Chain A
Amino acid sequence: MARPHPSRGHGRRGRLSLRGSIAARLAIGYGLLVAAAMAALSAIVYFGTVGVFERSIDNKILALQTRLAASSLDDGRGALVREIEAQLHDSVDSDTEILGLADAGGRLLAGNLAAWGGVPPLDDAGAGRLASASMARAGAPVSVRLAAVRLGDGSRLLVGRDLAELDAIRGVVERALLLSAAVSILLAFFGAQLFRARLEARIGAIRRTTARIAAGELSSRIGVHGEDEFARLGEDINRMLDRIEALMDGVRHVSNSIAHDLRTPLGRVRNRLDRALQAAVDPEALVADARLAIEDIDGLISLFDKLLQIAALEAGGRAGSMAPLDLAAIARDMTELYEVAAEEQGMTLAYDGAPATQVQGDRDLLANALASLIDNAIKYGRSGGRIDVGVRLQDGAAVLAVRDYGPGVPAVDMDKLTRRFYRVDHSRNLPGNGLGLAIVAAIVQLHGGTLALRDAGPGFEAAIRLPAER
């Protein structure tokens, strides 16, 4: 694998060397494995054919030697000579058999040897010993297998075999094995090239897409064909890209919204100060304008505080302040806190639910979330005249719901409500910055709960679902 080199920059890094290509390495490694398997197989084949043959020849030689030595012992030298001649003329392996009998002086008595002197020196003391040698036969040197033994009467008996046939077989087997080794190495090499071409084609498609994305074309996606590993990798990368694009959109949306949300109050502050300067002769007006300007700036500071709060909540560093608490008590406290504010708007706000429900949580954050929900209900559900707050146990979860009876929220807006700065069209003229539900969602997420927003027909319901404490 080529190490990424900083100076090479992004994208085009050229064709990888054979060593650098993982495909080539995989294929060559696989080829070597095949070659090793072939070698093992060849060894088995070789020793299974040539080896067996060799042992069979040795056995035959020894058997014949034993038989001839026995006949000499029983019937004397004359019988042995007759036996040797019969053996050489029985037309069974006669052309490969080598037999010779010489007296103590080295004079040939029988057999098909040209001269005893041509026989390689043999340790004739040991019956059953075999030796490989080379000797001239019919004018040509051939490899032979020999066994010599000294008989009781001092004469020497030589039994052997011409190995021309075995050499031929050995040659055939060895050639076949060499050929197959060469073919398997070639196959491994060309297989590596093929592998590499296939892999590079698949990876190349992914790399081209990532290069396009690196160049700024964020909507580019990898073409996914089939269901293999690369298709899955492509799908995973595409999913990641979708997520990144959504986050980028979110960031863009937030920064646009911040810019937009800051422009209006900053413009207002500027105008106030401008007016204050013009009317500087009137100290009272100056003070009043300065105060209003400070109020506007305070609003901006609180907007930033909220953004920072959401960021801190989303970073999730608050798990330390979680403690068992009574969600219903918080709901009753917040209901009581907002009762008067609701009454001012001609609405009734009432708690109706379980007397006590234990959950694990941060008391201030949960109160903050509930306060936001009630605040929204008062602001947007005013025409309904009534708000219900309740805590209930449902399937092992504590559900804190705030429901108003106002105009509700159009279905198209429902999913976007928890986005930072998102505001439903018909509510834009009401005070607010579109951060309330984003904070609620972040608080609920931190608690490992879910926030369900639905049209309650009539009205709107926000339900926070938290795991109940046992």
Chain B
Amino acid sequence: MPNCLVIEDDAETRDYVCDGLRAAGYVVVAEANSRDGARRLLEAHWDVVVLDRMLPGQADGIGVLEQLRARGDDTPVLILSALNSVDERVRGLRAGSDDYLSKPFVMSELLARVENLCRRAAWSRDVSLLQVADMQLDLRAMRVTRHGHPIALQPREFRLLEYLMRHEGQIVTRTMLLEGVWEYHFDPQTNVIDVQISRLRGKIDKDFSPPLIHTVRGAGYVLSAAPADGQAAP
């Protein structure tokens, strides 16, 4: 069970985050200021840290993060911030955060990103062949097969599928897809990502069984051999 440290001064947000993470199966410890947070970071190993950008105490969230990275500690850190601007995001990432989420946020987005950070080790592993159920994706040959049948994909569809397969069984949000596949960070206004997914689905799921891409209502998508709990039918 992954353990997670939450450093957040606002009691309401802290409870909301902690409750959500606990419900998703994390072991959660919460601190309300940068001094206690920094001490906790020294005490134990954490699988993931959720860190508020603005904190009371000597250092703010960025300061805590910089100290952590200065020690050579690469614990995954997600910055939470009310400062909704790309500039702030860039500053957070530059200070060594692994992801950035601005308030207000929906729990599903936070959970998807925290889970993504916990599994980062798998993501960075150098592989040339990804496999989910009967689907294989060959990164070297740029080839996708299902049940041995080759499937023709556009380059971007290939990258989209690769991203989903690398995050197998894990919810990915629309914003995460836009960031991970198209490398743009903004809130896509309409269903532009949904349309891309539905096109991809038409190619990999339509003529095969079982369906691999599942829609998670109000959150995003998950690619897995079996639909997980709380997921709506595709």
- Chain A residues within 8 Å of B, Cβ to Cβ: 291, 294-295, 298, 301-302, 304-305, 308-309, 312, 317-318, 320-321, 333, 336-338, 340-341, 344, 362-365, 367-368, 371-372, 375, 378-379, 431, 436
Contact = CB atoms under 8 A, between A and B. Distances in A.
Contact of B192 (A305, A368, A371, A436): A371
Nearest to B232: A291
Interface string B189-202: 11110011001000
Interface stretch (B18-26, B79-87, B121-129): B79-87
Interface of B: 84-87, 90, 102, 104, 106, 156, 182, 184-192, 195-196, 199, 217-218
A42 B217 CA distance: 99
A291 B87 contact: no
A318 B87 contact: yes
B84 A309 contact: yes
Contacts of B192: 337-338, 341, 371, 375
Tell me the interface secondary structure of chain B in the complex.
loop
Contacts, number: 70
Given A312-B85, A371-B189, A375-B189, A340 B104 contact: no
A143 to B, nearest CB: 93
B196 A368 contact: no
A367 B106 contact: no
Contact of B156 (A336, A372, A378): A336
Contacts of B156: 336
Given A364-B184, A368-B186, A291 B217 contact: yes
A401 B84 CA distance: 28
A305 B184 contact: no
A291 B186 contact: no
A382 to B, nearest CB: 13
13 contacts: A294-B218, A298-B106, A298-B218, A305-B187, A309-B84, A312-B85, A318-B85, A321-B90, A337-B182, A341-B191, A341-B195, A371-B188, A436-B189
A298 B182 CA distance: 24
A309 B189 CA distance: 14
Contacts of B190: 341, 375, 378-379, 431
A362 B184 CA distance: 11
Of the candidates A295, A321, A337, A344, the one having the most CB atoms from chain B within 10 angstroms of its own CB is A337
Given A298-B106, A365-B86, 10 more contacts: A295-B218, A304-B104, A318-B87, A341-B190, A341-B192, A364-B185, A364-B186, A367-B184, A371-B192, A431-B190
Given A291-B218, A295-B218, A364 B86 contact: yes
A239 B84 CA distance: 34
